Amino acid sequence: MLLQLNPPIPVISPKGKGLAHAMIDYGAEHDLLWVVFQDETGECWTWNNKEIRGQVNVTMGRPEVISPLPVKRERPRVVPNE
């Protein structure tokens, strides 16, 4: 399912601040994916749910958060044939 976010949500990604314009949900066994346009460069990146954070929001009482560290992506385990 692709959901367009209206209005876009301000987020912090491993590449800095940006606006999430869409969310992709492939189902129960998959992470949510966020389509983010980065403020500094204008690049469009897709991030896993665990790789982004919401930006500071004084009205909602959300303090400034530390930028998420780059996530080490797990490699699939290769089991040798016996």
When divided into structural domains, the chain yields a total of 1
DSSP, collapsed to helix, strand or coil, labels residue 31 as: coil
pLDDT at 11: 93
70 domain-assigned: no
80 domain-assigned: no
Predicted confidence (pLDDT) per residue in 11-68, tens digit: 999 999 999 999 999 988 888 999 999 999 999 999 998 888 888 777 777 777 666 6
Residues in a beta bridge with 2: 24
Residue 34: Cβ within 10 Å count:
22
**Which of 72 and 19 is assigned the larger pLDDT?**
19
pLDDT at 6: 95
24 domain-assigned: yes
26 domain-assigned: yes
Read off the pTM.
0.72
pLDDT at 57: 76
Q: Which residue has the tokens 């314009």?
A: 21
Q: Which tokens in the block code for residue 35? A: 């389509």
